[in-house]
Amino acid sequence: MHPHFPTLVFDIETIPDVPGLRRLHGLEAALADDEVAELAFRERRVQSGHDFLPLHLQRVVSISCVLRAGNKFRVWSLAAPALSEAELIQRFFDGIEKFTPQLVSWNGGGFDLPVLHYRGLMHGLVAPRYWDLGDGSYADSREFRWNNYISRYHIRHLDLMDLLALYQPRANAPLDELAKLMGFPGKLGMDGSKVWEAWQAGKADDIRDYCETDVVNTYLVFNRFRLMRGEIDRVAATREEAFIRAELAALDKPHWREYLAAWAASPPGTEKEEA
C-alpha cells in the first residue's frame, strides 16, 4: 500500500437478473418481474434454506466509489437506470485501467468482484489491467506477478473483511456493526436485503445513495486499519476523519447531511471511551 498510489474503495448493489431467470427457466413474458424473482427465491430456499441468489444471477445496479488520490477525495456512483449494467461495469474497469489504484472493499473477494467477473463476461467487456498477472503488455506488468488484483493474499485488492478475519469465514464481521462500534454511522435505513424492494418501487436514487454511504463506511474503516498497521499515526488518522467530514459537508446533499448527523450523534469508539 504505497502512499502515492491512488486508493479506490468500492461497493456494489444488485437485484435479481430477471431477464436471465426468464431465459434459464423458459418463463412466459406475461409473468411479472416480481413473480419471476419470487419463483427464483422460492427455489433457492428449497435448495439452500435462504433466498440469496447465486452470484451469476445478480444484476448490478450501482457501483459506488471513493477515490483518494493526493489531496483529493471524490465519492460517486455508476448507477442504473442512467447507465446500463454493461456501461457501469465497463466504466468501473476503465477507471482501473486509467489509475491502477489500490482497490479496497468489504467482502469484495467473496461477492462484489466475482459478480463483476460473471456479469462482465456475459456482456463481453474488457479489463486487461485488472486481469494482469504479470504477463501483460504494460511497462510495469512484471510487478503484477507478485502483487495483482486477483490473488487473495496480495494487497493490490485489499478485502478488509477477509483480511481482518484472517481468511476464516467463521470470523467475518458485518461492516455495519463494526463501523458503529468504531463510532461511524454504519447503515442508514437500508441494507442489501431491501434493495430489490426499493428497485421495484422506483427508488433507484435511494439505492445509489445507500451504496455511497456504505462505501464511505468502508473507507473510514480502512483509514483506521492504516493506523493499526502503522502506515499513519494517530494524528494523521484523526485529521483524515475530519477531512472526510468536511468533504462530505461540502457536497451538501440530503444523504450526506443525514450521514453526518448520524456520525455526530454516534457514541465514540471503545478506545476513546477508555482514554
Residues 6+ apart with CB under 8 A from 244: 73, 216, 219, 220, 223
**Within a domain: residue 44?**
no
pLDDT in tens, 193-245: 889 999 999 999 999 999 999 999 999 999 999 999 999 999 999 999 999 99
Q: What's this model's pTM, rounded to 2 decimal places?
A: 0.94
Q: How far apart are CA 232 and CA 226, in angstroms?
A: 6
H-helix or E-strand spanning residue 221: helix 204-229
pLDDT in tens, 42-59: 999 999 999 999 999 999
**Within a domain: residue 2?**
no
Q: Residue 272 — very low, low, confident or very high, per pLDDT cuts 50/70/90?
A: low
Question: Please, are residues 175 and 221 in contact by the beta-carbon 8 Å criterion?
Answer: yes
pLDDT at 270 (0 to 100): 57
Furthest C-alpha separation in the chain: 63
The residue range of the domain holding 252 is: 7-17+53-265
Q: How far apart are CA 157 and CA 222, in angstroms?
A: 12
Q: Residue 2 — very low, low, confident or very high, per pLDDT cuts 50/70/90?
A: very low
**Within a domain: residue 188?**
yes
Residue 215 cell numbers, joined: 462505501
Q: Residue 189 — very low, low, confident or very high, per pLDDT cuts 50/70/90?
A: confident
pLDDT at 201 (0 to 100): 95
**Within a domain: residue 47?**
no
**Within a domain: residue 220?**
yes
What's the domain count of the chain? Answer: 1
The percentage of the chain sitting over the pLDDT mark of 70, rounded to a whole number, equals 96
**Within a domain: residue 48?**
no
**Within a domain: residue 90?**
yes
**Within a domain: residue 25?**
no
Which CATH number is 148's domain given?
A: 3.30.420.10
pLDDT at 275 (0 to 100): 45
Q: Residue 11 — very low, low, confident or very high, per pLDDT cuts 50/70/90?
A: very high
- Residue 56: helix, strand or coil by DSSP? helix
DSSP 267: P
- Locus of grid cell 504479470: 134
30 pLDDT above the threshold of 90: no
Q: How far is CA 158 from its chain centroid?
A: 12
pLDDT in tens, 55-96: 999 999 999 999 999 999 999 999 999 999 999 999 999 999
Q: Please give the radius of gyration of the chain, using alpha carbons only, rounded to the nearest integer.
A: 19
Q: How many helices (H) and strands (E) does the chain have?
A: 11, 5
Question: Please, are residues 115 and 58 in contact by the beta-carbon 8 Å criterion?
Answer: yes
